Amino acid sequence: MEIKLAVLIDGDNIPSAYVKEMMEEIAKYGNPTIKRIYGDWTKPHLSKWKNMLLENAITPIQQYGYTTGKNATDSAMIIDAMDILYSEKVNGFCLVSSDSDFTRLATRLREAGMQVYGIGEKKTPSPFIVACDKFIYIEILKNQAEESTSETTKKSKASKSKYDSVTQKDIRLIASTIEDVADDDGWAFLGDVGSLLQKKQPNFDSRNYGFMKLTPLINSISDFEIERREDSKGHKKLIFVKIKDVKSKSRKR
């Protein structure tokens, strides 16, 4: 079934520089049939968005700030989201913001059976992140865009410093997830591991660590071993992962 997405962008809270990469990312998860961006378009700070709206078929929604210190954009976006929900025209939402004010909206949409994707900066508060099914950091899209236009290997290597390092906390999360879905011999299908990781931690993304896919990320960690197997028809390789025996024994002590 095709997933139809409503993409709602908080123009006051998201930088415009990587809107093209952002829309390409959203297209991986469904067809963005509704695309709206909210803000007070009389304000100079939103001028950078204007040239990009036509190129990406995003509809600007004007929202005046009625009182000082209150964000009217948030209210307009939330009201529209609920109207779209009850119209039954979509089966998923992408909320583009770094504002924790949308936490309750994301929770409510998921309660209604919607898939909810979040996109925002790394400063996004944790409550909003965990309220989404999946959360993508804009900084990762920015790094990818810069690497794709990098002219030298030196520049590409330098950009690695922009990524997070794999911590012991990350390794424990991956290890516990492998154990949750592993068979009696300790092997787990990597697809199941990835799905469960996403449920446990919506902002878990191999790209945060400089890897395009989960397989090379797992392969870079010495605690785990990977095995490639043919499916029953021999048509494709299935990837399985296991905690190395030495590490596994040390955990049991």
211 Cβ contact list (under 8 Å, min separation 6)? 217, 220
Mean pLDDT of 186-194: 94
Q: Domains in the chain, start-ordered, CATH in brackets?
A: 4-147 (3.40.50.1010), 163-252 (3.30.420.610)
pLDDT at 18 (0 to 100) = 80
Report the alpha-carbon distance of residue 60 to residue 38 in Å, rounded: 6
143 pLDDT more than 80: no
pLDDT at 66 (0 to 100) = 58
User: CA 205 → CA 11, 53, 164, distances in Å?
Assistant: 24, 28, 11
76 pLDDT more than 60: yes
pLDDT at 97 (0 to 100) = 93
Q: What pTM, to 2 d.p., does this model score? A: 0.83
189 pLDDT more than 90: yes
Residue with the bigger pLDDT between 71 and 31: it is 31
Would you say 122 and 147 are in contact if contact means Cβ atoms under 8 Å apart? no
pLDDT at 224 (0 to 100) = 94
Task: Provide the 8-state DSSP code for 68.
Answer: T
pLDDT at 54 (0 to 100) = 83
Condensed to tens digits (0 to 9), the pLDDT of residues 149-163 reads 554 444 444 445 678
Mean pLDDT of 212-233: 89
Condensed to tens digits (0 to 9), the pLDDT of residues 83-101 reads 999 999 999 999 999 989 9
Mean pLDDT of 29-56: 86
The model's confidence at residue 174, banded by pLDDT at 50, 70 and 90, is: very high
Residue 242 amino acid letter: K
pLDDT at 250 (0 to 100) = 46
